[in-house]
Amino acid sequence: MQGRSAVTLIAIAVVVGALFALFAERTPEPIGPGHPAPLFSLPSLSDNKPVALETLRGRVVLLHFWATWCKPCEEEMPALERLRHSLDSDRFALLTVSADEDRSQVESYRDRLKLSLPILLDPSHEVSRAYQTYRYPESFLLDREGKVVSRFVGPREWDSEIYVDRIRELLGGEPRPKTEGGPALSDARGAR
């Protein structure tokens, strides 16, 4: 009798394990090179109007996730500003996505650092989760078709030659750097 109980318990455990394996939620494949970038629409800090990633198809996009409490994020913001101003805004877009929940903190941060970068707000972390972003800063370089080319975890000197050249390569070569005071992407809605 005791042997039968043990066999029954083992059989039940096997069935429960098999059912769990069949119905358990699958871990999504990591977002990385070659994967389509998840589409999203987030409000802009500047005017609260939605900015949709899909409106930037045809441009190379650097999508940058950050937070106000992240010291490395703050340290790389000047390089992001310089990168944005050095490339043709008709072919390149830089979007920054703040993971902060408090809009006023993001506004204070922008004003303190004198940022003109497009800042999108993701207080619910919905877009951060879609991109599987949990460490800041984290960035995704997207090609003109909206596919991920590279994923970068941690701060970068975005205006250094290695990153600028990589972006220019995706742009199909850029004849010359943009001159000081030229147009720059101040808002992704300009792509519409």
In whole angstroms, give the CA distance from residue 25 to residue 20. Answer: 9
pLDDT at 183: 36
pLDDT at 104: 96
Is residue 27 a part of any domain in this protein?
Answer: no
Is residue 136 a part of any domain in this protein?
Answer: yes
Is residue 165 a part of any domain in this protein?
Answer: yes
Q: For residue 15, how many other CB atoms are within 10 A of its CB?
A: 10
pLDDT at 178: 47
User: How many independent structural domains does the chain possess?
Assistant: 1
pLDDT at 134: 87
pLDDT at 188: 39
In whole angstroms, give the CA distance from residue 162 to residue 150. Answer: 13
Give the ranges where the chain is alpha helix by DSSP (H).
2-23, 71-86, 103-113, 126-130, 161-171
Is residue 122 a part of any domain in this protein?
Answer: yes
Is residue 22 a part of any domain in this protein?
Answer: no
Is residue 11 a part of any domain in this protein?
Answer: no
In whole angstroms, give the CA distance from residue 27 to residue 169. Answer: 33
Quick: pLDDT tens for 145-162: 999 999 999 999 999 999
Is residue 18 a part of any domain in this protein?
Answer: no
10-residue averages of pLDDT along the chain (192 residues): 68 63 61 93 96 96 98 97 93 97 96 96 96 94 97 96 95 58 37 32
Residue-number span of the structural domain to which 88 is assigned: 33-191
What is the CATH classification number for the domain harbouring 113?
3.40.30.10
∠ Cα 189 126 166 (to 5°): 55
pLDDT at 185: 35
Is residue 70 a part of any domain in this protein?
Answer: yes
In whole angstroms, give the CA distance from residue 98 to residue 74. Answer: 12
pLDDT at 30: 74
